Amino acid sequence: MENKKLFFAIKLLAITGIVLAGYLLVEQFMPATAFRPCTINSTVNCDAVISGPIAKIFGIPTPLYGLLGYIGILLGAIFFKRKLILGLAIFGALFCLWIFYREIFQLRVICPVCILCQIVMLSILGLAVAANVKNKIPPPSAA
């Protein structure tokens, strides 16, 4: 993938991640909304994740970590910071895998929005690795 297209794809994925993490954060703070597309039954259920034992880590809402990570990745893509994107994507992918493990094996639920966040983060990681492999290519000009 051409370098400019690679950073553009990372930007699009980061924006998608921001929207998804933002949705989870809003759902965590306003759980009484009538429109609940993420809570289908006892197995496919975002509520169990955003209000359960993994809803907060060190007292901070879990979706906020994702939101900040995606914002950092977006800024890294805007300013062509390959190593920043790679570092955040590695941390984000590990964090997502930990959340996935907790969802599946401890809570025994599937959060569709969380799964989408995890797919987005793993996709960003793949693109970040590709961007760093191509680090001999100068970043595209801002013009």
Query: Looking only at Cα atoms, what is the longest distance across the chain?
Result: 51
Q: Let me know if 37 is exposed, middle or buried by CB neighbors in 10 A (0-12, 13-18, 19+).
A: exposed
Rg of the chain, C-alpha, whole Å = 16
Which pLDDT tens digit goes with each residue over 50-65?
888 888 999 999 999 9
For the chain, give the mean pLDDT.
89
| Per-residue pLDDT reduced to its tens digit, 62-121 | 999 999 999 999 999 999 999 999 999 999 999 999 999 999 999 999 999 999 999 999
Q: Burial, 42: exposed, middle or buried (Cβ in 10 Å; 0-12, 13-18, 19+)? A: exposed
Confidence at residue 119, expressed as pLDDT on a 0 to 100 scale = 97
Domains in the chain with CATH codes: 3-133 (1.20.1440.130)
Query: Residue 72: what residue type?
Result: G
pLDDT at 142: 55
